[in-house]
Amino acid sequence: MASVSLLFVTLLSVTLYINIKSFILWDQSQTFLPSLSDSVLMDRRFPFKVLEHIFSFVDSNEDRNSVSLVCKSWFETERRTRKRVFVGNCYAVSPLKVARRFPKMRSLTLKGKPHFADYNLVPDGWGGYAWPWIEAMAARRPLLEEIRLKRMVVTDECLEKIAASFRDFKSLVLTSCEGFSTDGIAAIASTCRKLRNLELRECIVDDLGGDWLSYFPETSTSLVSLDFSCLDSEVKLSDLERLLSRSPNLKSLKLNRSVTLDVLESLLRRAPQLVELGTGSFSDELDPEEISKLTKALSELKQLKSLSGLWDLLPEYIPVLYSVCPRLTSLNLSYATVQMPDLIDLLSRCSKLQKLWVMDLIEDKGLKTVALCCKELRELRVFPSGADLDETDVTLTEQGLVSVSEGCQKLESVLYFCVQFTNAALVSIAKNRPNFRCFRLCVMEPFAPDYRTQQPLDEGFKAIVERCKDLRRLSVSGLLTDKAFEYIGVHAKKLRMLSIAFAGDSDLMLHHLLSGCESLKKLEIRDCPFGDTALLENAAKLETMRSLWMSSCFVSFGACKQLSQKMPRLNVEVIDEHPPKTRPDSSPVERIYIYRTVAGPRLDTPEFVWTIHKKPEVGVSRLAIR
């Protein structure tokens, strides 16, 4: 379908004005509506209906954004046909404008806080409130069916509003959100008659108990996916059993840890059509009869492709899983504390595996097995098993990743935590696997050089960016000088997101990145010695990006002020945990978050966030949060 839209774009290339960002056009278009739009729609070569039909094949929002830039009539037709709206930064545009622009909107996806909020680098109360969006959509787009939020603050009032306002509401997916309780979930469960998806992924929920599950009415049979793995409290088994019995369309079920192993069998019996299963705890004691019943129940899941949960999986229960292994395309063992060699028994049976998340307990040996047996592997994530770096006593080294890169031809996405690394390994990996799209290496020891040669890891990452021409996302770590970033600037032309910590020598580093990486959209940096010069010199670049995060770097307050004044379409936020009383221009700022926006200054900045628009008397707007 992408080729269809591309064809049109090239055909009408004479009228393309590619450099105008589509959201700027939104801004201007508001003055055209409604008077111009009707005449525009009537006055073109292609009848509206034909265009509309053609655009219905254009799914990707990137393509749709390109389509909308061709000419006014295409803009109008596209906006009236877009059903799935994606807003990568909830502060980049106002909810009202989005609601007005897309009358046929059925699905809204929003992202709030910056990515580094996942690692506690963004203080509580920073922002990312869902309320203004939900309020705006409730008033103007009551036919909305799906809301997907990531890193946003969602309150119970928000959830109640959703339940009350959208009569056809089908799908709620909250990832890394916070601010609500199980009461809000209950409101959704009880009121949304057509609910299909209710997924809470890694949210921080005020867990008031497991009653929320009983709020699904007895008449509700529409459930397709249910994920409550991040909740703590126990749900009533009978509620869950009855829900499963009356949900023949349920394809994905992710239980929480407090669902014990002894009840799993009874649940699975009632949902043999599951495609995705997230178990609860896998460590409770079962007697032999229970084990054999569970084994049988799992073997009955003929459609099962994805398995997760498996908290504290005991080695003696691994055989129970054997029957599902051959069909699995996705396996998440990152909470399973199983070690070698037990893991081999499991992994050697998973020949169709495409996605594997595991802890470093897999060690180099286990990864060798993966390289031999899992030839379809596309994504690998290896997480650390020890909370304290000093306690790592597993033999997971760079060799593990080298083996997998050799054996798994389709591998394109990696997240690898390791204590230290070598340039030679990175070069091998790059040679083996030029098809990487996402390469995230976290050398956990900050400033760790190549432990064999004591050199910085510059050459290794150079190999990665040189060979992997399609690289979209990169995280670097270890000892790195400015040279590494010069290489990245020169070679990583398709790179969209880059994460850096404890690296570089000087401003040159930032300069190389901002002037070299053409496709860069998100840059996040912590603890690097950058200063003002590179930032100010490359200010224009920032408008082509979604956002830039810098914390514990050498940016001065004066530079932040200058940048704000120079670039009115950027929001420059200075975030201090404890804002100082006086701020001389030369003083360094703790964190700076810069993003492009057509919505102007936020109305809901807390007191610890400084922007140039700040009037001391304006606190957090009461309208913004509910």
Partner 1 sequence: MITELEMGKAESELELGLGLSLGGGTAAKIGKPGGGGAWGERGRLLTAKDFPSVGSKRAADSASHAGASPPRSSSQVVGWPPIGSHRMNSLAAKSAREEEEAGKKKVDDDEPKDVAKKVQVGFIKVNMDGVAIGRKVDLNAHSSYENLAQTLEDMFFRSKPGTIGLTGQFTKPLRLLDGSSEFVLTYEDKEGDWMLVGDVPWRMFTTSVKRLRVMKTSEANGLAARHQEPNERQRKQPV
Nearer to partner 1, 511 or 541 (CB): 511
**Alpha carbons 35 and 12: distance in angstroms, whole number:** 25
**Alpha carbons 373 and 352: distance in angstroms, whole number:** 9
**Closest CB 499 distance from partner 1, rounded Å:** 8
Burial class of 137 by CB neighbour count within 10 A (0 to 12, 13 to 18, 19+): buried
Q: Which of 153, 127, 131 is nearest to 609 (CA)?
A: 127
**Closest CB 212 distance from partner 1, rounded Å:** 19
**Closest CB 573 distance from partner 1, rounded Å:** 15
- Three-class SS state of 408: coil
**Closest CB 588 distance from partner 1, rounded Å:** 5
Query: How many whole angstroms from its chain centre is CA 369?
Result: 29
- What are the two backbone dihedrals, phi and then psi, of residue 607, each rounded to the nearest 5 degrees? -70, -20
Nearer to partner 1, 392 or 544 (CB): 392
**Closest CB 46 distance from partner 1, rounded Å:** 48
Around Cβ 11, how many Cβ atoms within 10 Å? 10
Q: Which of 277, 281, 280 is nearest to 299 (CA)?
A: 277
**Alpha carbons 506 and 524: distance in angstroms, whole number:** 16
* Maximum Cα–Cα distance across the chain: 76
Nearer to partner 1, 322 or 608 (CB): 608
Nearer to partner 1, 166 or 557 (CB): 557
Around Cβ 65, how many Cβ atoms within 10 Å? 16
Nearer to partner 1, 214 or 283 (CB): 283
**Closest CB 26 distance from partner 1, rounded Å:** 33
Contacts with partner 1 by CB under 8 A lie at 116, 118-124, 176, 202, 204, 230, 334-335, 337, 383-395, 397, 417, 419-420, 442, 444-448, 451, 454, 499, 501-502, 505-506, 526-527, 529, 531, 551-554, 576-578, 580, 582-584, 586-590
**Closest CB 386 distance from partner 1, rounded Å:** 7
**Closest CB 558 distance from partner 1, rounded Å:** 13
Q: Judge whether 490 and 432 are in contact, CB under 8 Å.
A: no
Residues 6 or more apart in contact with residue 337 via CB below 8 angstroms: 312, 313, 359, 361, 385
- The residue written with tokens 């379409």 in the block is 569
Nearer to partner 1, 245 or 395 (CB): 395
Nearer to partner 1, 512 or 596 (CB): 512
**Closest CB 75 distance from partner 1, rounded Å:** 39
- What are the two backbone dihedrals, phi and then psi, of residue 414, each rounded to the nearest 5 degrees? -135, 140
- The residue written with tokens 């399973």 in the block is 336
**Alpha carbons 208 and 176: distance in angstroms, whole number:** 19
Nearer to partner 1, 146 or 379 (CB): 379
**Closest CB 553 distance from partner 1, rounded Å:** 8
Backbone conformation region of residue 252, classed left if phi is above 0, alpha if psi is from -120 to 50, else beta = beta
Nearer to partner 1, 385 or 562 (CB): 385
Nearer to partner 1, 393 or 617 (CB): 393
- Three-class SS state of 281: strand
Strands (E), 554-590: 570-575
**Closest CB 146 distance from partner 1, rounded Å:** 24
**Alpha carbons 52 and 552: distance in angstroms, whole number:** 49
Q: Taking the chain, what is the end-to-end CA distance rounded to the nearest angstrom?
A: 41
**Alpha carbons 59 and 1: distance in angstroms, whole number:** 7
Nearer to partner 1, 56 or 586 (CB): 586
Nearer to partner 1, 55 or 126 (CB): 126
**Closest CB 473 distance from partner 1, rounded Å:** 14
Nearer to partner 1, 279 or 397 (CB): 397
Q: Are strands 197-201 and 171-175 parallel, antiparallel or unpaired?
A: parallel
What would the DSSP string read from start to end of 447-491? T---TTT---THHHHHHHHHH-TT--EEEE-SS--HHHHHHHHHH
Query: How many whole angstroms from its chain centre is CA 48?
Result: 36
**Closest CB 8 distance from partner 1, rounded Å:** 41
**Alpha carbons 172 and 226: distance in angstroms, whole number:** 10
